[in-house]
A = this chain, B = another copy of it.
Protein backbone atom coordinates (compact mmCIF):
# COMPACT_ATOMS: atom_id res chain seq x y z
CA UNK A 1 0.00 0.00 0.00
CA UNK A 2 2.95 2.16 0.79
CA UNK A 3 4.28 1.32 -2.66
CA UNK A 4 1.00 2.21 -4.27
CA UNK A 5 0.99 5.56 -2.50
CA UNK A 6 4.53 6.28 -3.63
CA UNK A 7 3.81 5.25 -7.19
CA UNK A 8 0.64 7.31 -7.37
CA UNK A 9 2.35 10.18 -5.63
CA UNK A 10 -0.31 10.43 -2.94
CA UNK A 11 -0.57 9.85 0.78
CA UNK A 12 -1.11 6.49 2.39
CA UNK A 13 -4.56 7.37 3.60
CA UNK A 14 -5.72 8.33 0.16
CA UNK A 15 -4.91 4.87 -1.11
CA UNK A 16 -6.77 3.43 1.84
CA UNK A 17 -9.73 5.60 0.91
CA UNK A 18 -9.73 4.37 -2.65
CA UNK A 19 -9.33 0.74 -1.67
CA UNK A 20 -12.25 0.98 0.72
CA UNK A 21 -14.38 3.12 -1.56
CA UNK A 22 -14.56 5.81 1.08
CA UNK A 23 -15.77 9.23 0.00
CA UNK A 24 -13.54 12.23 -0.27
CA UNK A 25 -11.30 11.51 -3.22
CA UNK A 26 -11.24 13.42 -6.52
CA UNK A 27 -12.08 11.27 -9.49
CA UNK A 28 -8.73 12.24 -10.88
CA UNK A 29 -6.59 11.10 -7.96
CA UNK A 30 -8.76 8.04 -7.65
CA UNK A 31 -7.88 7.13 -11.21
CA UNK A 32 -4.16 7.61 -10.54
CA UNK A 33 -4.38 5.40 -7.47
CA UNK A 34 -6.32 2.75 -9.34
CA UNK A 35 -3.66 2.68 -12.01
CA UNK A 36 -0.93 2.24 -9.45
CA UNK A 37 -2.92 -0.57 -7.84
CA UNK A 38 -3.32 -2.33 -11.15
CA UNK A 39 0.26 -2.06 -12.24
CA UNK A 40 1.59 -3.20 -8.89
CA UNK A 41 -0.95 -5.98 -8.60
CA UNK A 42 -1.75 -4.69 -5.17
CA UNK A 43 -4.30 -6.43 -2.99
CA UNK A 44 -5.22 -5.33 0.49
CA UNK A 45 -3.88 -7.51 3.29
CA UNK A 46 -6.90 -8.38 5.35
CA UNK A 47 -4.82 -9.64 8.23
CA UNK A 48 -3.57 -6.16 8.89
CA UNK A 49 -7.03 -4.79 8.44
CA UNK A 50 -8.38 -7.25 10.99
CA UNK A 51 -5.70 -6.33 13.45
CA UNK A 52 -6.72 -2.72 13.20
CA UNK A 53 -10.48 -3.07 13.04
CA UNK A 54 -10.93 -5.89 15.47
CA UNK A 55 -13.38 -7.75 13.27
CA UNK A 56 -12.40 -10.60 11.03
CA UNK A 57 -15.59 -10.94 9.04
CA UNK A 58 -15.36 -14.65 9.50
CA UNK A 59 -17.25 -17.10 11.62
CA UNK A 60 -16.38 -20.59 12.72
CA UNK A 61 -18.52 -23.69 12.46
CA UNK A 62 -17.55 -26.73 14.45
CA UNK A 63 -19.53 -29.82 13.62
CA UNK A 64 -19.17 -33.52 13.90
CA UNK A 65 -18.30 -34.58 10.38
CA UNK A 66 -18.61 -32.59 7.22
CA UNK A 67 -18.86 -35.83 5.26
CA UNK A 68 -22.12 -36.76 6.99
CA UNK A 69 -25.00 -35.96 4.65
CA UNK A 70 -26.85 -34.32 7.52
CA UNK A 71 -24.17 -31.68 8.09
CA UNK A 72 -23.47 -30.75 4.49
CA UNK A 73 -26.74 -28.87 3.97
CA UNK A 74 -26.49 -27.40 7.46
CA UNK A 75 -23.06 -26.04 6.73
CA UNK A 76 -24.12 -24.72 3.38
CA UNK A 77 -27.04 -22.89 4.94
CA UNK A 78 -24.73 -21.27 7.46
CA UNK A 79 -22.41 -20.29 4.65
CA UNK A 80 -25.21 -18.58 2.74
CA UNK A 81 -26.20 -16.46 5.72
CA UNK A 82 -22.56 -15.63 6.38
CA UNK A 83 -22.13 -14.61 2.77
CA UNK A 84 -25.13 -12.31 3.00
CA UNK A 85 -23.31 -10.62 5.87
CA UNK A 86 -20.00 -10.47 4.06
CA UNK A 87 -18.38 -13.10 6.22
CA UNK A 88 -16.41 -16.21 5.39
CA UNK A 89 -16.88 -19.57 7.02
CA UNK A 90 -14.14 -21.60 8.66
CA UNK A 91 -15.25 -25.07 9.53
CA UNK A 92 -13.87 -27.97 11.40
CA UNK A 93 -14.96 -31.49 12.23
CA UNK A 94 -14.75 -32.63 15.81
CA UNK A 95 -15.19 -36.29 14.89
CA UNK A 96 -17.45 -36.48 17.96
CA UNK A 97 -14.39 -36.05 20.16
CA UNK A 98 -14.78 -33.46 22.96
CA UNK A 99 -11.06 -32.81 23.08
CA UNK A 100 -10.92 -32.11 19.41
CA UNK A 101 -13.98 -29.90 19.66
CA UNK A 102 -12.28 -27.77 22.29
CA UNK A 103 -9.04 -27.62 20.36
CA UNK A 104 -10.90 -26.44 17.26
CA UNK A 105 -13.01 -23.91 19.09
CA UNK A 106 -10.01 -22.38 20.79
CA UNK A 107 -8.05 -22.27 17.55
CA UNK A 108 -10.96 -20.41 15.99
CA UNK A 109 -11.06 -18.01 18.91
CA UNK A 110 -7.33 -17.37 18.58
CA UNK A 111 -8.03 -16.37 15.00
CA UNK A 112 -10.57 -13.99 16.43
CA UNK A 113 -13.54 -15.21 14.47
CA UNK A 114 -16.43 -12.86 15.10
CA UNK A 115 -18.76 -15.66 16.00
CA UNK A 116 -18.97 -19.36 16.52
CA UNK A 117 -21.56 -21.96 15.69
CA UNK A 118 -20.97 -25.20 17.49
CA UNK A 119 -22.51 -28.62 17.25
CA UNK A 120 -21.09 -29.84 20.49
CA UNK A 121 -19.35 -33.16 20.91
CA UNK A 122 -18.62 -32.66 24.59
CA UNK A 123 -20.97 -31.81 27.41
CA UNK A 124 -18.97 -29.23 29.29
CA UNK A 125 -18.42 -25.91 27.61
CA UNK A 126 -17.19 -23.87 30.52
CA UNK A 127 -13.92 -23.50 28.65
CA UNK A 128 -15.83 -21.14 26.37
CA UNK A 129 -16.88 -18.77 29.10
CA UNK A 130 -13.88 -16.43 28.88
CA UNK A 131 -14.22 -16.28 25.12
CA UNK A 132 -17.89 -15.47 25.23
CA UNK A 133 -17.19 -12.86 27.85
CA UNK A 134 -14.51 -11.48 25.54
CA UNK A 135 -17.15 -10.97 22.91
CA UNK A 136 -17.23 -14.07 20.70
CA UNK A 137 -20.89 -14.58 19.87
CA UNK A 138 -21.73 -18.25 20.13
CA UNK A 139 -24.72 -20.29 19.07
CA UNK A 140 -25.07 -24.01 19.61
CA UNK A 141 -26.91 -26.14 17.10
CA UNK A 142 -28.48 -29.57 17.15
CA UNK A 143 -27.48 -30.07 20.75
CA UNK A 144 -27.46 -27.63 23.67
CA UNK A 145 -24.34 -26.36 25.40
CA UNK A 146 -23.20 -28.07 28.57
CA UNK A 147 -22.80 -26.21 31.87
CA UNK A 148 -23.08 -22.74 30.37
CA UNK A 149 -25.90 -20.51 29.29
CA UNK A 150 -25.94 -20.05 25.55
CA UNK A 151 -28.18 -19.75 22.54
CA UNK A 152 -29.17 -23.05 21.01
CA UNK A 153 -31.16 -24.09 17.97
CA UNK A 154 -32.43 -27.63 18.22
CA UNK A 155 -34.74 -30.04 16.48
CA UNK A 156 -37.57 -31.45 18.50
CA UNK A 157 -35.92 -34.82 19.03
CA UNK A 158 -38.23 -35.78 21.84
CA UNK A 159 -41.40 -34.94 19.96
CA UNK A 160 -40.13 -36.45 16.74
CA UNK A 161 -39.21 -39.76 18.31
CA UNK A 162 -42.44 -39.83 20.24
CA UNK A 163 -44.51 -39.36 17.10
CA UNK A 164 -42.43 -41.97 15.29
CA UNK A 165 -43.02 -44.55 17.98
CA UNK A 166 -46.68 -43.58 18.20
CA UNK A 167 -46.95 -44.10 14.47
CA UNK A 168 -45.68 -47.66 14.83
CA UNK A 169 -48.00 -48.30 17.76
CA UNK A 170 -50.92 -46.98 15.75
CA UNK A 171 -50.10 -49.55 13.11
CA UNK A 172 -50.48 -52.34 15.60
CA UNK A 173 -46.96 -52.82 16.89
CA UNK A 174 -46.38 -53.67 20.53
CA UNK A 175 -42.81 -54.88 20.61
CA UNK A 176 -40.85 -51.94 19.25
CA UNK A 177 -37.09 -51.51 19.32
CA UNK A 178 -35.11 -48.31 19.66
CA UNK A 179 -31.58 -48.32 18.28
CA UNK A 180 -29.74 -45.12 18.94
CA UNK A 181 -26.48 -43.28 19.28
CA UNK A 182 -24.41 -43.05 22.46
CA UNK A 183 -26.58 -41.89 25.34
CA UNK A 184 -24.19 -39.06 26.24
CA UNK A 185 -25.25 -37.34 23.02
CA UNK A 186 -28.16 -35.10 23.81
CA UNK A 187 -30.24 -35.90 20.75
CA UNK A 188 -29.83 -39.61 21.36
CA UNK A 189 -31.05 -39.24 24.92
CA UNK A 190 -33.99 -37.08 23.84
CA UNK A 191 -35.05 -39.52 21.18
CA UNK A 192 -34.91 -42.37 23.63
CA UNK A 193 -37.04 -40.32 25.98
CA UNK A 194 -39.54 -39.70 23.17
CA UNK A 195 -39.71 -43.39 22.43
CA UNK A 196 -40.29 -44.20 26.08
CA UNK A 197 -42.97 -41.55 26.32
CA UNK A 198 -44.90 -42.94 23.36
CA UNK A 199 -44.73 -46.43 24.78
CA UNK A 200 -45.88 -45.20 28.16
CA UNK A 201 -48.70 -43.23 26.51
CA UNK A 202 -49.90 -46.50 25.00
CA UNK A 203 -49.50 -48.38 28.25
CA UNK A 204 -46.79 -50.60 26.81
CA UNK A 205 -43.94 -51.88 28.93
CA UNK A 206 -40.49 -51.82 27.37
CA UNK A 207 -38.29 -54.87 27.54
CA UNK A 208 -34.65 -53.93 28.15
CA UNK A 209 -33.57 -56.00 25.19
CA UNK A 210 -35.49 -53.71 22.86
CA UNK A 211 -33.26 -50.74 23.51
CA UNK A 212 -29.74 -50.52 22.18
CA UNK A 213 -27.57 -47.43 22.45
CA UNK A 214 -23.97 -47.05 21.38
CA UNK A 215 -21.72 -46.34 18.46
CA UNK A 216 -23.37 -45.95 15.08
CA UNK A 217 -20.69 -48.11 13.48
CA UNK A 218 -22.38 -50.57 11.09
CA UNK A 219 -21.11 -53.66 12.94
CA UNK A 220 -22.50 -52.53 16.26
CA UNK A 221 -25.88 -51.69 14.79
CA UNK A 222 -26.04 -54.86 12.73
CA UNK A 223 -25.33 -57.01 15.78
CA UNK A 224 -27.97 -55.17 17.77
CA UNK A 225 -30.61 -55.74 15.10
CA UNK A 226 -29.64 -59.37 14.67
CA UNK A 227 -29.92 -60.01 18.40
CA UNK A 228 -33.33 -58.39 18.62
CA UNK A 229 -34.71 -60.36 15.72
CA UNK A 230 -33.31 -63.63 17.02
CA UNK A 231 -35.09 -63.34 20.35
CA UNK A 232 -37.95 -65.76 21.19
CA UNK A 233 -40.42 -62.91 21.03
CA UNK A 234 -38.71 -60.66 18.50
CA UNK A 235 -39.57 -57.02 17.99
CA UNK A 236 -41.85 -56.35 15.05
CA UNK A 237 -40.76 -52.78 14.48
CA UNK A 238 -37.66 -50.64 14.84
CA UNK A 239 -37.25 -46.95 15.53
CA UNK A 240 -33.80 -45.95 14.27
CA UNK A 241 -32.16 -43.12 16.20
CA UNK A 242 -30.33 -41.35 13.38
CA UNK A 243 -29.41 -41.44 9.72
CA UNK A 244 -26.37 -43.71 10.09
CA UNK A 245 -28.39 -46.21 12.09
CA UNK A 246 -31.27 -46.11 9.63
CA UNK A 247 -29.00 -46.92 6.71
CA UNK A 248 -27.52 -49.92 8.45
CA UNK A 249 -30.90 -51.18 9.62
CA UNK A 250 -32.32 -50.88 6.12
CA UNK A 251 -29.42 -52.88 4.74
CA UNK A 252 -29.94 -55.56 7.33
CA UNK A 253 -33.70 -55.79 6.93
CA UNK A 254 -33.34 -56.04 3.16
CA UNK A 255 -31.55 -59.33 3.67
CA UNK A 256 -34.15 -60.53 6.14
CA UNK A 257 -37.10 -62.74 5.25
CA UNK A 258 -39.46 -61.58 8.00
CA UNK A 259 -41.04 -58.18 7.41
CA UNK A 260 -40.10 -55.70 10.11
CA UNK A 261 -41.49 -52.18 10.26
CA UNK A 262 -39.05 -49.28 10.40
CA UNK A 263 -39.18 -45.60 11.13
CA UNK A 264 -35.91 -43.71 10.83
CA UNK A 265 -34.88 -40.42 12.38
CA UNK A 266 -33.54 -38.01 9.74
CA UNK A 267 -34.45 -38.15 6.12
CA UNK A 268 -32.05 -39.86 3.73
CA UNK A 269 -31.51 -39.40 0.05
CA UNK A 270 -33.48 -41.94 -2.00
CA UNK A 271 -35.47 -42.96 1.07
CA UNK A 272 -38.55 -42.23 -1.03
CA UNK A 273 -37.62 -44.92 -3.54
CA UNK A 274 -36.85 -47.41 -0.82
CA UNK A 275 -40.13 -46.60 0.89
CA UNK A 276 -38.53 -45.70 4.19
CA UNK A 277 -40.78 -43.87 6.63
CA UNK A 278 -38.81 -41.17 8.41
CA UNK A 279 -38.99 -38.40 10.93
CA UNK A 280 -37.39 -35.59 8.96
CA UNK A 281 -35.62 -32.63 10.43
CA UNK A 282 -34.66 -29.67 8.33
CA UNK A 283 -30.88 -29.46 8.49
CA UNK A 284 -30.73 -26.35 6.35
CA UNK A 285 -33.28 -24.56 8.54
CA UNK A 286 -31.28 -25.52 11.59
CA UNK A 287 -28.15 -23.94 10.10
CA UNK A 288 -29.96 -20.90 8.78
CA UNK A 289 -31.72 -20.19 12.04
CA UNK A 290 -28.54 -20.52 14.03
CA UNK A 291 -26.57 -18.29 11.67
CA UNK A 292 -29.27 -15.65 11.67
CA UNK A 293 -29.30 -15.64 15.41
CA UNK A 294 -25.54 -15.33 15.47
CA UNK A 295 -25.51 -12.33 13.17
CA UNK A 296 -28.29 -10.69 15.09
CA UNK A 297 -26.03 -10.89 18.12
CA UNK A 298 -23.10 -9.58 16.14
CA UNK A 299 -25.26 -6.66 15.11
CA UNK A 300 -25.48 -5.81 18.75
CA UNK A 301 -28.82 -7.23 19.77
CA UNK A 302 -28.42 -8.43 23.30
CA UNK A 303 -31.10 -10.54 24.81
CA UNK A 304 -30.85 -13.44 27.21
CA UNK A 305 -29.65 -16.71 25.68
CA UNK A 306 -32.57 -18.61 24.31
CA UNK A 307 -33.27 -22.10 23.09
CA UNK A 308 -35.20 -22.45 19.85
CA UNK A 309 -36.74 -25.76 18.87
CA UNK A 310 -37.67 -26.60 15.29
CA UNK A 311 -40.38 -29.08 14.47
CA UNK A 312 -39.83 -32.40 12.82
CA UNK A 313 -42.11 -34.03 10.26
CA UNK A 314 -43.13 -37.64 10.01
CA UNK A 315 -43.10 -38.77 6.38
CA UNK A 316 -44.89 -42.11 5.82
CA UNK A 317 -43.43 -44.01 2.89
CA UNK A 318 -44.30 -47.63 3.56
CA UNK A 319 -41.72 -49.08 5.92
CA UNK A 320 -43.46 -47.59 8.94
CA UNK A 321 -46.84 -48.87 7.90
CA UNK A 322 -45.97 -52.56 7.70
CA UNK A 323 -48.22 -54.47 10.09
CA UNK A 324 -46.73 -56.62 12.85
CA UNK A 325 -45.52 -60.01 11.64
CA UNK A 326 -46.92 -63.18 13.17
**Closest 8 pairs (CB-CB, A-B):** A67-B76, A41-B130, A67-B73, A72-B72, A66-B76, A46-B110, A67-B72, A47-B50
| Chain A interfacial positions (CB closer than 8 Å to B) | 41, 43-48, 50-51, 56, 58, 65-69, 71-73, 75-77, 79, 83, 88-93, 106-112, 130-131, 133-134, 247, 250-251, 254, 268-274, 284
Are B269 and A274 within 8 A (Cβ)? no
| Residues in chain B near residue A89, CB distance under 8 A | 90-92
Copies of this chain present: 2
Given A47-B47, A58-B111: 14 more A-B contacts, CB < 8 Å: A41-B130, A43-B109, A45-B110, A46-B110, A66-B72, A69-B69, A69-B269, A76-B93, A88-B90, A90-B90, A250-B273, A268-B269, A268-B270, A270-B274
> Is A47 within 8 A of B272, CB to CB?
no
Could you say which residues of chain B place their CB within 8 Å of the CB of A269?
69, 247, 268-270
Q: In the complex, which residues of chain B have a beta carbon less than 8 angstroms from the beta carbon of A75?
A: 66-67
A56 CB, nearest partner CB in chain B, Å: 7
Contact check, A65 vs B76: say whether CB atoms are below 8 A apart. yes
A271: nearest residue on chain B (CB-CB)?
Answer: B270
Residue of A43, A44, A67 with most chain B CB atoms under a 10 A cut-off: A67
Min Cβ gap A153→B in Å is: 18
A73 CA to B110 CA, complexed, in Å: 27
Taking a contact as CB atoms under 8 Å apart, the answer to whether A69 and B72 are in contact is yes
Given A45-B110, A48-B51, A247-B269; A72-B68 close (CB under 8 Å): yes
CB-CB < 8 A to A109: which residues of B? 43
Q: For residue A187, give the distance in angstroms from its CB to the closest CB of chain B.
A: 20
Residues of B within 8 A of A71 (CB): 72
* A134/B41 contact (C-beta < 8 A), A72-B71, A89-B92, A90-B58 known: yes
**Chain B residues closer than 8 Å to A79, beta-carbon distance:** 66, 91-93
* Chain B residues, CB < 8 A from A46: 110-112
